[in-house]
Amino acid sequence: MRVFVTGATGFIGSYLVPQLIKAGHQVVGLSRSDKGAEALTRAGAEVFRGDLGDLDGLHAAAQMADGVIHAAFNHDFSRLKEHSEEDRKVIDALGAALVGSDKPLLVSSGTGLVDRTKINGPATERDVPVSSADFPRAATEEAADAVAAKGVRIIVVRLSQVHDTAHQGRLSQHVKLAREKGYVAYVDKGENRLSAVHVSDVALLYRLALEQGTAGARYHAVAEEGVPMREIAEVLAERLSLPVRSITPAETEDYFGWIAGLATIDLAASSALTRQELGWNPSGPGLLTDLREMGSGVA
Ligand SMILES: NC(=O)c1ccc[n+]([C@@H]2O[C@H](COP(=O)([O-])OP(=O)(O)OC[C@H]3O[C@@H](n4cnc5c(N)ncnc54)[C@H](OP(=O)(O)O)[C@@H]3O)[C@@H](O)[C@H]2O)c1
C-alpha cells in the first residue's frame, strides 16, 4: 500500500516508517524541514514537503495515497486550543480526499481523553471522549466522527503514555520537577495509574489497524493497563538518586504546577478489544524498565 504519513519525522513516526516499509508498504512522509526530509530518505521513504497549515497540499498528498496515517501534532501546549483546532482542519482535509473510497485514514488521539466521569474502571475502546469545549485536544475525535459521517473509513488510534529509553512524554516533566525540588513526589498513596506502551508496539498497532482496521473503530495502544504513580516515582527517584516522598492533595498544586491535574487522575486504560480484533500482542519493554534505563541526558 502507498501510505501518506504525517508526523513521519516524530518520535512515533521514526518507528512507524521502518515498520511500514519492512512490511512491504511504500511510505510518503510529510516533512517541513531539510533535516526531516533527509531522515525520511535515509529510512527509505519518499518525502512530501509541507506543513500542517497547507491544507491543499495535505489533501493532494492524501489523494495520491492508498491510505493515510495522521500522526503529526504541534505539541506547544501553551497554544493547545489553536493546534487542536488546526488538527480538526487537517483531518477534515485528509478525509475529504478519501471520500468515496474505501481507503483508510488513521488519526491519533489519547486514552487520556476518555470522559472519566462516565466510566468506572479502565477506559475502553467503547468509551466516549470528553468534549473539545472541556479539553481542546478532543477536537481530533470530533473531527474523526464528522469525517466518518461522510463515509470515510476513518480509524482512531488512542495512545497511552508512549515510551522508550529516550522519551517519557509527560514523565519528563516529573523528572524536571524532581530536579528542581530535590525530591520525587507522588500524591497520597500514589495508587492512581498511568497506562503505557512501548513505541515499537505502537508502530505495530498502527500498521495492523491500517491493514485490517474496521471503519469507525477506536483502538487502544495500551500494553500496561495501569502502572501506579507510586511505583513510577520510586523508579524515578532511584534513577535520579533523589529521595521519594508522598505529598498531600493540598500540596499537589505547589509541587506539580500546570500538570497538577494529571498527577492525581487515574489514567488506567484497557486494550482488550484492540488485541482481540487486530491480534495485536505488545511485547516491548515495560514503562518501569525504560525509566530505569532512561538516557543519561535525562537523568
Ligand atoms: N507520545 C505519546 O506519548 C503520545 C500520547 C498520546 C497521543 N500522542 C499523539 O500521537 C501523535 C504522534 O506523537 P509523537 O510522540 O510522535 O509526537 P512528536 O514526536 O512531537 O512528533 C510530532 C510530529 O508532528 C510534526 N509536526 C508538528 N507540527 C507540524 C507542522 N506544523 N507541520 C508539519 N509537521 C508538523 C513534527 O514534525 P517535525 O519533525 O518537523 O517537528 C513531528 O513529525 C501525536 O498526535 C500525539 O499528540 C502521543
pLDDT tens digit sequence for 258-295: 899 889 999 999 999 999 999 999 999 999 999 999 87
Could you tell me what percent of the chain has a pLDDT over 70? 99
Give the residue-averaged pLDDT of 44-57: 98
Q: How far is CA 268 from CA 113, 282, 288, in A?
A: 12, 17, 16
Count other C-beta atoms under 10 Å from residue 76's C-beta.
9
CATH number of 163-195+225-292: 3.90.25
> How far apart are the C-alpha atoms of 299 and 293, rounded to whole Å?
10
Note the pLDDT of residue 139: 98
CATH number of 2-162+196-222: 3.40.50.720
3-state secondary structure at position 73: coil
Ligand 1 atom closest to the Cα of residue 75 is 20
Task: Kindly state if the Cβ of 16 falls inside 6 Å of ligand 1.
Answer: no
Of 200, 235, 219, 205, residue with least CA distance to 269: 219
pLDDT tens, position by position, 66-123 = 999 999 999 998 899 999 999 999 999 999 999 999 999 999 999 999 999 999 999 9
Question: pLDDT tier at 299 (50, 70, 90 boundaries)?
Answer: very low
- Ligand 1 probe mutation, 4, 5, 6, 12, most atoms within 8 A of CB: 12
Report which protein residue has its CA nearest ligand 1's atom 42. 10
Instruction: Please tell me if the CB atom of residue 159 comes closer than 6 angstroms to any atom of ligand 1.
Output: yes
Instruction: Judge whether residue 298 has pLDDT over 60.
Output: no
Domain boundaries defined on the chain: 2-162+196-222, 163-195+225-292
Q: Is residue 237 within 6 Å of ligand 1 at its C-beta?
A: no
Say what the pTM is: 0.97
Ligand 1 centre from 189 Cα, in Å?
33
With a 6 Å cutoff on the Cβ, whether 10 touches ligand 1 is: yes
Q: Is 9 in the pocket of ligand 1 (CB under 6 A)?
A: yes
Q: Please name the residue ranges forming H helices in the chain.
A: 11-22, 34-43, 55-63, 80-98, 139-148, 171-181, 199-212, 229-240, 252-256, 260-264, 272-278, 287-292
| 224-228 and 193-198 strand pairing | antiparallel
CA 166 to chain CA mean position, Å: 16
CA 74 / ligand 1 centre spacing (Å):
6
pLDDT value of position 71: 98
Whether the pLDDT of residue 247 is over 50: the answer is: yes
